[in-house]
Each structure stands twice: as C-alpha cells, then as structure tokens.
Structure 1
C-alpha cells in the first residue's frame, strides 16, 4: 500500500504533458539560440573594451529567452512585462544593495519589493526576480555601476532580446507581441454558454494567477465548445432529427384557411407543396403580417391564396445532409424553419431550431415532440407525411 501511494505522490510532481508539435519546439529552441547570440553580440559592441569585468549577458536573460521564444503567448512574456519587470527589479536591487549591509536581507527585500510592484504595474516577469538578486549579489563590478546597472547591461540586454523576439516571430509566421484572439463580441445574452463576465468572475473567485490571457482563455473555451459540438453532431443527419408528420398546404389554399391552421395547431410555419409533393414555398406568421393577411385586416371579399404571400424561393435541406451544416443557416441567415426533402426531392419533414438543439443533445425527437396527427380543419388542406 505504501509504494503505490508514494508513486502517486511523486507522480503529482510532474506537470501535465504539453501538446506542442516537434516543429514548434524546434522553432522555440532556434529562436532562443539566435536571440541570446544577438543580445550578447550587441552588448559586446556597446561595451567595447571599456570594461572587461562587466558581463555581456546577465543570467536572467536566459530565463527571459525561455518565455519570449518558448511561451510567446504568455502574459509573462509580453514586451512591457520583460522591460518593465527587469528595470524595476534592477532599480530596487541596486537600492537594497546600497542601503542594506546584510546581503541576505537585501536580496530577500529586493525580490519581495519587485514582486509587490510588478503586480500593480502589470509587468509581472519571473526572471526579474533573478535580476534583483544579480543587483545585490553580482559582485564589485555590478555594485560599482550603481543605478547604471539598470541601463547597461539590464536595459540593453532586455531591449535587444525583445527586438530579436519580435523579428524572429514575425519571420517564422507567429504573432508577437501577442494579442488575444477575439472570439465573440461582448454579450450579456443569457442563452450564451458563457460570457466574458462569467469567465472574469470565476477567475476572480479562484484568486490565483493563471499564465494565460483572459481573452485567450475565452477563445480556447470557445474552440472546445465548437469542437465538442462538431463531435456530437458528427454523422448526425437531418433525417434523424427532423419532425415528420407535419402539416402542409397547397399554394391554392386560401390565406384564411392557412391562418386558421397556424392558430389551431399553434405552429409558426407551413410548407407549401405542389401536387408532386415538391416544396414550392413556405408561409410563416411573418408572411401574413408582411402582406396584411391577418384576419383583422381582411374582408370577406379577400380571395388571396397562400401562393400570393408565401416566401419564395425557399431554402431546403436533404434528409442525408449533416445537421452540423445547418448551424450557419440558422445562426447567420435568419432561418427558423427548413423543409427537408428526400433523395427524390420530395417533402419529408421539417427542421427547426428546436430540432437542432435536441440533435445536439442526442435526444430523440419522438420523445419530446411526437408527430402531429392529421387535423383537416379546412377541406383544401392535406396532411402530408
């Protein structure tokens, strides 16, 4: 019992595996190599032979390179995080080294103050803690520089490494500085799976710093939502989610009879079929309103027929078509009802937004919306199933 527990305990020390491709790993390694090489070379040119005691590179730049080239999307790797964090830490480190004689106390205070300032100034950069320590423990050559240490080598190293990262990422087809990918417009729609406000509220409740931008996290969750949706919709065709046994009318039916059917059966649309059961149009409540064909606006002499007010051409989908293909039609083109046709082009059923949602949840239509029985309340109306 002890060995499995110990194994599980130490296994928790391992981070979760990353999903980075071999090509991206190689790109990161090569970028860090080039960035450090250029930073050292430029600093060498700037120093010349004026001081052989000063380092061309300070050790924290190695950690900064890991972030800039290995995790360029991280908030910790953005330009202001790098430059601001390193400069603040350098200035605080020099100050603590000058005014506190005990190196241990000066080191601890320099790191603690650096973190305290990086939070409100939004320049949190972990390698900056090492910059603060370097200012305190760097030796006589560093101490002799005083506050110039923040300019050279820290400032120059930081700026050159930053410039190298910007150029390298752009040359290799990546965005840096990173901008969170916009997923959706800000919304308070209660029907949305989640909103930006929901995400921010959860992060605030967790009260811990996550190494990801809120916008990126929103985009990732949105992508997961879409992928899960597609997976659940995979191989789900219209025939499995459509409503059958729906009422339909011929184009010669009077508008009064068609309206009576809509009201009596509490439905919003009727497919219009010809004698061959082909869909020639669709008539909805909006069609009646648009053409002034509601009972209060009609008189006894109104002889208009469904064919006079129906919407044409009508968008139809095939029974074999994947349900996933219907989402843009409902979401972007304003469709609420889509007639379904079979392989022969004949009317087979109807799909609504409700059908789409039920299909997403793999809920059989027959369980919640059984086919409507024939209700021939007007002689010109046929129940076509």
Structure 2
C-alpha cells in the first residue's frame, strides 16, 4: 500500500497522535486568544474592522505544528507579517491595477523579508490580501499593518510562547547547547572532535544551494546524532564480554591505602576496582584518593559511582560514555554484581581500530 504521507510529514508526525493533538489544541487556543484579545483591545464593529486576517491561520500552523522552524520564530511571524503588510499597502496605493499590484506586492514582500531576515511564508498572503482585500483594507490604509496584522501576530506568538511552555517545550526555539569539555578547557569534547567539522557543514550547505527550513545549529546537532546512531548500529554485534580484560587487578577494602597504592604502581594502574570477599564490586579506587589517605584503609577512598555493564552489553552502549572524557572504564559484572572483567578506553579504542582496518581491507578487495 502506498504511504499516505510524504517522508517529511512522516518524520514530523513520528511522535504520534499526541503531538498531532497538541498542535491542533494549540492552534484552537492560540487563534481564540488572538481573536478575543484583539476584539477587546481595538473594539469597534467587526464588519468594519476585521477581527482576524486570514494569513494568521497559516502563521498558527507554523507556530503550533513546527515551532522549531526558523520560519515560525516570533521575529519572523511579527516582522514578516507587518513588513509584508506595509509592502502590500504601498503597492496597492502606487499601482492602480490589482492584477499587476498583487504579484508585485508578493514578490517585493518576499525579497524584503529575506533582506531583513524575517522570512515568514504567510507574509506573502498578507501582502496579497492588502491588494485584493477590498474597501475595508483600503479605508484603513497603513493602519491595517498595525491592527489587525501586527496585533494579531503579536497576540498569536504570545499565545504560542505560553502554550509551548505549558507543554514543556521551547518557543522561541533554542538550538541544542554545544557540548563542553568535561575538564573545563576550551577544547571541544572528544565526541565533537571526530567526524565532520563546522567547515564541512558550511561547505555542504553552500554546495546544496537551497534555503532550508532548519537552522544550521539544529542541522549540526541532528547530523551528530545520526553519525552516533550509525556507529552504534555498526558495532551493535560486538559485546563487552568479547573485549573485556578478565585478569583484573582488584583491591581489598580492608587493606591500607599505602599497600594499595604500591600494588597499583607495580602494575602501572591509575584506577582499580574494589571488591569484597565474594568479588562483588564496591566501587573504584584512584591513586589521588589513596595518596591522600595513606595511613587509612581503602574503604575510605572508594568511589561508589562506577559504571557497571553486563558481558552481553553491546559496546555501542559504551561509545558515548567512554568517549565523553568523564569516564575512563566500565566494570563488567553479573546479576549479583560479581566482577567478571573490565573495559577501558584502551580496549574500546583497540576494537574500533581493528574494525576500521578490517573495513579498509575489505574496501581494497
């Protein structure tokens, strides 16, 4: 059976009926608020002063259905509609023939919105209605751009801000905050240093040569998620049990920190798991904490916040964790938290390198 929706609509409605219902409810409440508030503010006879202009309905589609779109942001809605209204009224006054004035108004509105950075598709309809709107619009003149066009746009965006905040969403839309280094330095985190760069994205957009209804920052965040998903899919078949170290150097919580420190130095380790008599993992001990507590027992230097995985856990689950720079190892345990092995950044790097070499050899054949 042929799909009912094109890919873009299927992607947007992936959240299901709940998201669709939220968009519809938001449009009802937003339009109702804008109409009633406008009437209370400007008063007058609705047969003379229109309550809502038709293009505001198109603005509601953007605000409540695709609030992340650059075309739906408050500046685009308000400025785009008002600028287009001013252009349309001017064309109606300067060009007596509506057949010529209408296309000129729409064209000029589009160009001016692009020049001022407030492109809003319903603005084209606003410019058109200013030309063909009849005696009511001509009688109001440039005031039509302020009320109802400007007032409706302002009230509708205000309703959109309140509604999306109530729904736990961001409007105006804010692009995802770029990840920062876990060490507080100016370097990007490790996951952001590999793969494509900002220059690659800019070059690709330049070659694409089309205006996109998505911001550059959103594209960057989306592509990095796609890249991560692809890596996870490729490595989903490799399990932690396949690459873990099983002969693990462990510490006893009752031994002294001094003896534990010497033991770790002997094996050139900076971190070691601490286990009880049944080899259940209690946490990790690091050189710095052991050094600060030389004369005390290891139990006082245990960091209980250790990342635990199973032998059957795919290594894809470790890619975001061990590449973040915040965690350097994960202990492999069974259902009773008994130590089975350990996977370090080095282990993960080795298997990724081997997979890369195998793929390169296969590509040469």
Scaled by the length of structure 2, the TM-score of the pair is: 0.70
1:255-313 Cα deviation digits (max 9, x unpaired):
xxxxxxxxxxxxxxxxxxxxxx65259xxxxxxxxxxxxxxxxxxxxxx9995583354
Shift of 1:338: 8.6
Gapped runs of 5+ residues in structure 1?
A: 1-7, 245-276, 282-303, 368-385
| 1:248-263 map, 5 Å | none
1:187-222 Cα deviation digits (max 9, x unpaired):
599951112221122112111111111111111122
CA 1:232–1:153 in 2, change beyond 3 Å: closer, same or farther?
Answer: same
Where does residue 227 of structure 1 map in the other structure? 229
Where does residue 371 of structure 1 map in the other structure? none
2:210 pairs with one of 208, 211, 220? 208
Shift of 1:48: 2.0
Where does residue 169 of structure 1 map in the other structure? 164
- Contact 1:183 / 1:222 at 8 angstroms: preserved in 2? no
Name the CA distance, whole Å, in 1 between partners of 2:264 and 2:31.
Answer: 76
2:3 maps to 1:41: no
- Contact 1:58 / 1:153 at 8 angstroms: preserved in 2? yes
1:320 pairs with one of 308, 311, 320? 311
SS of equivalent residue, structure 2 residue 272: coil
Where does residue 134 of structure 2 map in the other structure? 139
Name the CA distance, whole Å, in 1 between partners of 2:82 and 2:47.
Answer: 23
Where does residue 310 of structure 1 map in the other structure? 268
2:332 maps to 1:332: no
- Between stretches 140-149 and 339-348, larger displacement belongs to 339-348
For these two proteins, the number of residue pairs brought into alignment is 302
Name the CA distance, whole Å, in 2 between partners of 1:324 and 1:228.
Answer: 10
1:58 pairs with one of 45, 53, 56? 53
- Contact 2:331 / 2:339 at 8 angstroms: preserved in 1? no
1:137-178 Cα deviation digits (max 9, x unpaired):
111111011111111111111111111111111111111110
2:228 maps to 1:237: no
- Contact 2:71 / 2:213 at 8 angstroms: preserved in 1? yes
Where does residue 89 of structure 2 map in the other structure? 94
Name the CA distance, whole Å, in 1 between partners of 2:240 and 2:40.
Answer: 69
- Between stretches 178-187 and 98-107, larger displacement belongs to 178-187
- Contact 1:319 / 1:340 at 8 angstroms: preserved in 2? yes
- Contact 1:69 / 1:165 at 8 angstroms: preserved in 2? yes
CA 1:188–1:102 in 2, change beyond 3 Å: closer, same or farther?
Answer: farther
- Contact 2:37 / 2:155 at 8 angstroms: preserved in 1? yes
Name the CA distance, whole Å, in 2 between partners of 1:162 and 1:345.
Answer: 56
Scaled by the length of structure 1, the TM-score of the pair is: 0.67
Shift of 1:243: 8.5
SS of equivalent residue, structure 2 residue 350: helix
SS of equivalent residue, structure 1 residue 180: coil
Higher helix share: 2
Gapped runs of 5+ residues in structure 2?
A: 181-186, 252-261, 274-283, 285-307
| 1:272-283 map, 5 Å | 279=249
SS of equivalent residue, structure 1 residue 56: coil
Where does residue 62 of structure 2 map in the other structure? 67
Structure with higher Rg: it is 1
Name the CA distance, whole Å, in 1 between partners of 2:340 and 2:122.
Answer: 69
CA 1:78–1:318 in 2, change beyond 3 Å: closer, same or farther?
Answer: closer
2:16 maps to 1:21: yes
